[in-house]
Structure 1
Amino acid sequence: MKTMILIASMLGMSMSFTACSDDNAPVITDKNLDETTTFFSSTEPGNYTTYYKPYVGYVGDPMPFFDPVSKEFRILYLQDDRDGNSTIYHPIHELATTDAANYISFREAIPCGAAVEDDPAIGTGSTIYDEAGKTYYTFYTGHKSAEPREVILLATSKDCRTWTKDRSFRLPSPVEQGYDKNEFRDPYVFYDDDAQLYRMLVSTLKDGKSVIAQFTSTDLHDWTLAAPFFTNVWGRFYECPDVFKMGNYWYMIYSDKDVTRMVQYFYASTLDELMNLSGDGYPSTLPDEGKLEATSFYAGKTASDGQNRYLWGWCATREGRKTTGNTDWAGALVAHKLVQNEDGTLSLNVPQAISAKYSQPVALTEKARVGEVASTASSYTLKTNSFVRFARLGNQNKITMTVTVPEGTEAVFGLSFVDCSDKEEKVRIFIEDKYGYLKMKEVTVNEKTGEWNDAVSITERAIVPAADNVYHIEAYTEQSVCVVYVNGKYAFTNRIYDLAKNPWSVFCTDGEVTVSDIKLSTY
């Protein structure tokens, strides 16, 4: 027995020495992580909290609504288990939150049906509360491989926790009126106070053209076909429609499936005017076609508690766990605060509770400077092809800073992640004051000169350059989810693998900028 213990001990020592002598071995202690700036392959936990992800599976299309009884936001969503089942998939799961920053999971709410039923696979829908009947109604898409592939179905609940499918309700596509029997999904139901009736919107095709169909009802059970709510301006298929009134305007938020793959919106002074926005000239009155986000954020829908309206969507994972990989369907739940501007246009900002959640200060440790960099006690001035690298980030991070572009000049600058001293490849968020864009790219950077080789954008979105040349930047990360806000107006969500536990930097690739008041915090 003693001999066996001795051999085991010697073997363990041998393995330890071997690991220490291997230059390619991963960094294995927090002490070594703090001391180095080389690449560390970070692992992801099963779940996220701020940008919610369940322990098993991923978050698909969110269906948020505000529950007037519990005074909570309820987020029903399509659970993507990625279990290889191509027939039965996407049951509806349910979350609750009061602040868009912390979630309670109620797990499965509405299960998939059997293969022979209308809903072996489930698609997006919406929930509404009937106060008179004290009943919650969730209308959703039933999907199957046999034709007709899609039909609108219903589940009800008395407590918003236990749901029962109402098999007496089945709303198929009105094919006799020219509507498509297979593309007929994403029901959204709201109450029209002026008309004293409920309206249901459905994403579909009519006579081969993309439209949002409309049905009306006074009892949430019997529905009558009405004229289309919206005839698509460009002929694109608009998914996940969401209609609401905010201030003095009516809005329709939607996800463009065919071309941009972005969450966008239209707006008008009245509901009737919104329903008749089909002129080709209308989109030119909206900044950048009303695009709210970039292509890593999809299926966005909103809910309001009467004070705040939030937009929830999912941040896609990527194939092969590579930042440059193709986007998968589903990922983590991301929430933005919807901000209404004086002219009726919309902006996005961070929910206050998310900002407050990241409240623990983290010391900012500089690790390297490359290029022409000058500094004071509270700021850095960076010129073309320069950067300042900082120590490793944690798993959850909040980075804030103010960037000023000198009067009369234009610049390109930003944040760099997975910015390791032994890897030329860096994932950079470019803020292009010069061109009016936010872009994410993986680029190669010379560690000695700061010179870099450009690459095609992984994601991008247009912005209006700051009139006063000042940019207030907030970046929030949880594991590989990264959400950047610019001047409280623009949101830019991305998936950046290995962001956690690796160094980061601020950089300038064109012109000159002064970066001040840099702060780092966590929770």
Structure 2
Amino acid sequence: MMLHFRPQGRWIGDLIPFFWRGEYHLFYLPRAPEGRHCWGHIVSLNLLDWEELPDAIEPSNDPNAPDAVGCWTGSVIEHEGTFHCFYTGFNPRNPYPQTICHATSDDLIHWRKDPANPVVVPDERWYEPQDWRDPFVFFNSEAGEFWMLICARDKGVAFERRGCVALATSRDLQIWQVQEPLWSGSICWAAECPDMFRLKNRWFLVYSHGITRYRWSEKLDGIWFASFPDTFDTEFVAAAKTLFDGKRQILFGWIGTLEGESDFGHRQWGGNMALPRELVPQPDGRLFVKLPEEFVKWHLENSSPLQLKDCEPLCGTWTVEGTTAVADSFSGVSVLRCGVPDDFFLSATVEPQGEAVEFGFLLRMQDGKGHKLIVDKSKIALMRWASWGDVEPKVSRPISWSGNERLKVHLIVHGSIVEIFVGDTVSLACRIYDPPAGWFGLYAVNGKVRFHDVTVAPLQPLS
């Protein structure tokens, strides 16, 4: 299994997912100097094991071509036996530095660029000329035509935050008509990597600006509503886009590295592939996230029970009952130090009871350093451990639980990457660097918490 995959010698950036006849294709932008991106390509039959394929789209050798300096994010669609790739061509020498280009293929491997490139440029009646990228194409069966969503900037907005989702339409994927913005929220500089899908009779519009967000509507020409939260994860699951595999809408993003491999470094563009997230629609328009079944099954087949009887209570009251550890401290903290591999995939069912206000995990604790992953009644959060008391979280996600309920938890600690999935509802991803190793612990605050069926599978080191 290849968790947090990255190709040999490359860092993964924007992912462009496409499902075809049982295969999950992920095109991606590798980290590249001066934006000179190509389209890399990997494929999987099971979301677990990935095969590298030849690069799909590369910048043109003609210095005047619209894609001479880079082939940026886009999308893939099949129509009448031909695969169509629409991508962003980048050439700062041209009047429109970012334009929409087109290529076709018979096998998803070998691609022919359209001699008519660029096929869509900004219409300056509505859009600024500089930001025009990340085309997402799908067939709108309601309108009987193809729609292209484009990251753009709305000239009609006086506010600096003019980011919008532009719309272009076509009957044949060849001739495109630029339309007025589909959505213009005045909340970001540019609504990057737009994506759209339909689930449970609702339309969902996805876009990114530092963090991936979504809106939903009952109809395409209706009001676009924001849920709370309107995000899928933290900013570490970057530029996320989706595919439908006939059963599920699955979200793919990437987890960027931090500069200098430091907890205090700036987030960099490019990193490792995040674990996929299955999106689960709710009656009120929210989208819950859960770990796909393929990963849960792998864990069941490769894990063993955590030897709770060998764990060391450091404070509070702990009782071990077979495969269950019970923390029972009504006025303070209970900590249980346990032995796990440096890289691991842990699953447990956690049952906070009564007045318990918080539980979680201590990660890589060493010489007064480490990280604390908390789950309380309003959030999950990851923070650096401080001996003198809690500090502000590095990242957090809202959650709601009332106590006296069982929460299924999947925790993955893999090199510098931490991902946690709680209650088939919410997930959180982050990077941690310092310290690189240390002990692992369970903890609970002010009440009784049962950790049931704690199982651990070792992972291969992160590449």
Partner of 2:325: 379
The structure with the largest helix share of the pair is: 1
* Pairing 1:173–2:115 present: no
Partner of 2:212: 263
* Pairing 1:424–2:355 present: no
Greater shift after overlay, 332-341 or 139-148? Answer: 139-148
User: 1:58: Cα distance to partner?
Assistant: 0.9
Partner of 1:65: 18
Equivalent runs, 1:8-407 vs 2, <5 Å: 49-67=2-20, 70-81=21-32, 85-86=33-34, 89-114=36-61, 115-119=63-67, 120-130=69-79, 132=80, 134-146=81-93, 147-207=95-155, 209-232=162-185, 234-235=187-188, 237-255=190-208, 257=209, 261-273=210-222, 276-277=223-224, 282-283=225-226, 286-288=227-229, 290-334=230-274, 335-358=276-299, 359-362=301-304, 364-365=306-307, 366-377=310-321, 378-383=324-329, 384-395=332-343, 397-407=344-354
CA deviations on 1:338-362 (whole Å, 9 max, x unpaired) are 1122334211000111122232234
* Pairing 1:413–2:366 present: no
Q: What percentage of residue pairs aligned between the two structures are identical? A: 23
Unaligned 5+ segments in structure 2 are none
Helix, strand or coil: the match of 2:233?
A: coil
Q: Is the 8 A contact 1:412 1:430 kept in 2?
A: yes
Q: Is the 8 A contact 2:318 2:336 kept in 1?
A: no
Distance 2:434 2:239 in 1: 25
Name the amino acid aligned to 1:269: E
User: 1:236: Cα distance to partner?
Assistant: 5.0
In the superposition, the TM-score normalised over structure 1's length comes to: 0.80
User: 1:107: Cα distance to partner?
Assistant: 3.6
User: 1:95: Cα distance to partner?
Assistant: 1.4
User: 1:512: Cα distance to partner?
Assistant: 4.5
Distance 1:150 1:73 in 2: 28
Partner of 2:443: 507
Partner of 1:34: none
CA deviations on 1:300-337 (whole Å, 9 max, x unpaired) are 11101111221000011111112342211111112111
User: 1:511: Cα distance to partner?
Assistant: 4.8
Distance 2:379 2:362 in 1: 16
Structure with larger RCO (C-alpha < 8 A, sep 6+): 1
Q: Is the 8 A contact 1:142 1:150 kept in 2?
A: yes
User: 1:399: Cα distance to partner?
Assistant: 0.9
Distance 1:425 1:499 in 2: 7
* Pairing 1:516–2:452 present: yes
Q: Is the 8 A contact 1:253 1:266 kept in 2?
A: yes
Unaligned 5+ segments in structure 1 are 1-47, 446-451
Q: Is the 8 A contact 2:397 2:427 kept in 1?
A: no
The structure with the largest strand share of the pair is: 2
Distance 1:109 1:314 in 2: 19
